[in-house]
Amino acid sequence: MAGTGFQHQHGHGHGRRGRRPKSRRIVSEIAPREFYTSDAVEAVVLLPAEVEALRLVDLLGMDLQSAAQSLGVSKSTAWRIVKLARRKVADAIVNGKRIIVKGGAQSA
């Protein structure tokens, strides 16, 4: 598709238009932390909503619908948050990166 202009990273051909506005996410108070490896140069950053989603689903074993309600988002949004957080944690573990947990309650 030569000359079609901007292509969204997923190939949909649109930028931010057409997307729903970000909703307010409900998360518990998160203390800022950093986890280091002795030779880590790069880092991944986990946002409060991502930490809360991991806590609810992976640590507490909450089903996705209940976790979504606790976060104040749709089930599909909760799934995207969990999936992204898991990918970041896996990247840090596999590639020896620092994990930085952003603190505070988040409004997105």
Sheet of strand 33-35, all strands in order from the earlier edge strand to the far edge = 33-35, 98-101, 43-46
Q: Of 4, 94, 92, 79, whose CA–CA distance to 45 is shortest? A: 92
CA distance 97 to 38: 10
Q: What pLDDT tens digit does each residue of the chain (108 aa) get? A: 455 554 444 444 555 567 767 667 666 666 667 666 667 789 999 999 999 999 999 999 999 999 999 999 999 999 999 999 999 999 988 888 888 898 876 544
Task: Give the 3-state secondary structure of residue 71.
Answer: helix
Q: Which domains does the chain have, with CATH numbers?
A: 33-101 (1.10.10)
pTM over the 0.85 mark: no
Task: Give the 3-state secondary structure of residue 86.
Answer: helix
**Token pair of 2 as six digits:** 């030569």
